[in-house]
Amino acid sequence: MITTIIIILTALISIKAFKDNELMGKLIFHPPAVKKGGWYRFFTYGVVHADYTHLIFNMFTLYFFGIDIERVFKLTFGEAIGSVSFIILYISALLVSILPTYIKQKDNASYYGLGASGAVSAVIFAYVLINPMNFMGIMFIPIMLPAFLFGLIFILISLSLEKKQSGGINHSAHITGGVYGIIYTIVVFFAFADINLVNSFIAQIRIDSISDLFHFGF
C-alpha cells in the first residue's frame, strides 16, 4: 500500500528530526533557504512535523482517507496508472499547497513551515469529490456531516482563520491543497477514464438525497 509507505517514511523521518535539529533545519520549509537554491524544501517540509500530536493527527487522517482514494485510483485506472496517479497527487500537492505561502513569505527570514497537512487536505478533498454523501467528522468531536458539507464548512472556517492569522497554523496550505486535490482528481479521471466527476458529484448531492438525510434524522 502506497499510503502505508508514505506514512511509515514520514513517521520515521519526523521522529528522527524531533531529536536531530540539524536534520530538521535541512528539511523544514524556510523561504530564504529556498531562494538560495533549496528547492527540495518545497517537498521535504512534508516529512517533518512539530511534535507527536501534529504527526499522529496528519498520519491518522492520511491513513483513513488515503487508503480509500488509493484503492479508487487503482480500481479506476489499473494498478500501474492508479499507483502513479496517487503518488503524483500527494507529492505535487506538497508543492502546490505551499506556493501561496512562499510567495507571501519569500523575504521573511523568521518564517518556517512544516507538516503534511497541505497534501493530506488534497487527499481529503479528493475523497469529498468522489464520495460527497459519505459522512465525515473531526476526531474526538461527535458530529458527522455529509462530506460535501464538511468540506464547505472546513474551507469557510479556514478562510476566516487565515484572515485572522490564527493559531500559527498554515490555513492557506489547507485551502490550496484541498482545492488542488479536487482539480487534480477531476482532470485525471477525465483524462485516463473519461469519467466526469463534476457530473457525478452533482448527481450524488441532488436535493432529494439531502432531504432524505434530514428525514432520517441528520
8 A C-beta contact, residue 58 and residue 117: yes
pLDDT band at 97 (very low <50, low <70, confident <90, very high): very high
8 A C-beta contact, residue 147 and residue 135: yes
pLDDT score for 118? 96
pLDDT score for 137? 73
Burial classification of residue 153, based on how many CB atoms lie within 10 Å of its CB (0-12 exposed, 13-18 middle, 19 or more buried): exposed
Locus of grid cell 508514505: 6
Q: Which domains does the chain have, with CATH numbers?
A: 2-215 (1.20.1540.10)
State the chain's mean pLDDT as an integer.
91
Give 21-75 pLDDT, tens digit per residue. Answer: 999 999 999 999 999 999 999 999 999 999 999 999 999 999 999 999 999 999 9
Give 124-176 pLDDT, tens digit per residue. Answer: 999 999 999 998 876 666 678 889 999 999 899 888 888 876 567 888 999 99
Integer Cα distance of 134 and 148 in angstroms: 8
pTM above 0.85?
A: yes
8 A C-beta contact, residue 33 and residue 41: yes
pLDDT band at 216 (very low <50, low <70, confident <90, very high): very low
Give 107-127 pLDDT, tens digit per residue. Answer: 999 999 999 999 999 999 999
Pick from 9, 46, 53: which is nearest to 29 by CA? 46
Integer Cα distance of 108 and 67 in angstroms: 37
